[in-house]
Amino acid sequence: MLVVMQSDATQAQIDAVCDAIREMGFQPAPMPGAQRTAVGLIGNDGQVDGSHISGMAGVGQVIYVSKPYKQVSREWRPENTVVEIAPGVRFGGTEVPVIAGPCSVEGEPQILAVARAVRAAGASALRGGAFKPRSSPYSFQGMGLEGLKLLAKAREETGLAIVTEAMDEEGANLVAEYADCIQLGARNMQNFSLLKVLGRLRKPVLLKRGMSATIQELLLAAEYVLAAGNPHVILCERGVRGFDTATRNLFDLSAIPLVHKLSHLPIVADPSHGVGVREHVPPMARAAIAAGADGLIIEVHPTPDKAVSDGAQTLYTEQFGRLMGEVRTIAEAIGRTITPAPAHQTVGAG
């Protein structure tokens, strides 16, 4: 349930509505807007009788949220949520940030070389896995804490925001200390205990769609994070499992406009995992921007053929540079711009 106050409602009237919601056994969530305040009701999993609230002083309208997810729905918040992960790097507005970097942090020379290259091409954030969930227990699992420290060093040199994945509660606390945004991978989308941890950490979260997840399941996963107190969630379409083996996944471009209709949260696209084939990543990245994606996350490596993970879907730095020029043109054609690379660069960085 959402209580929309009149534009001239006083603070005392808003407080009275909040008190009434508490008396019903629920938690009020006041949301001041540009013209009026709305008060959400948190804690119910079914419809609540709010007839007595509709008659209270200062109340303009009582709206019943029909979706199973509440706080992430457009009914709850009609305006777009803008999530800022670092100064100037905002998802959900007219600017479109690009996150780029290797699948895995492999060492200092590699991550610094990639960071310099993607920054020079115009990326505003660096990705790189320090903790790697792999299908095989014998595959490279990441550098862990040392990888996080190398990402922080790359940020210090280039000014790029850092996005990296957490796999469990201990890792989430470490990532929150070193990174600007915590990525939750497809395999963990419905790890509900970890979603609650990310809600309590209040750090921006990049939530990837599960390999076989519906849009409703993705939005309900986001609801866990918001319900635990963290409104800073960015959704990510990264492809779902299909029956055709020609590509790694079925990249669902229709998810982008659909999520925009259903939710106020921003959604970015990951064409690297979406198709899993290097030559198909640039056209799918271009298509995602045209479809209205609020950001891109692209895997880039100076020598993909030597990458320890996901080399087949990773762009060469030269390819990424060309792609950035193409997506700038497409973004401008639909009234948006690609977020510029950070101005900061330390002395001696190349």
25 assigned to some structural domain: yes
Q: What is the pLDDT of residue 300?
A: 97
Give the tokens for residue 102. 């290797």
| 327 and 247 both lie in a single domain | yes
Instruction: Report yes or no: 161 and 181 within 8 Å, Cβ to Cβ.
Output: yes
Q: What is the pLDDT of residue 42?
A: 85
State whether residue 60 is helix, strand or coil.
strand
Instruction: Report yes or no: 60 and 72 within 8 Å, Cβ to Cβ.
Output: no
246-252-254-259 Cα dihedral, nearest 10 degrees: 180
| 329 and 301 both lie in a single domain | yes
| 246 and 329 both lie in a single domain | yes
Q: What is the pLDDT of residue 135?
A: 63
Q: What is the pLDDT of residue 139?
A: 61
Q: What share of the chain is helix, strand, coil (3-state, %, to 5)?
A: 35, 20, 40
pLDDT along the chain (350 residues), means of 10: 92 95 91 86 78 91 86 91 97 98 94 97 96 64 87 97 95 95 96 96 97 97 95 97 91 98 98 96 98 98 91 96 98 97 61
User: How far apart are the C-alpha atoms of 68 and 7, rounded to whole Å?
Assistant: 28
Angle at 340 between CA 338 and CA 345, to 5 degrees: 155
258 assigned to some structural domain: yes
Strand bridging mode 161-165 / 181-184: parallel
| 132 and 41 both lie in a single domain | no
| 293 and 230 both lie in a single domain | yes
- Counted residue by residue, the chain has a size of 350
pTM of the model: 0.88
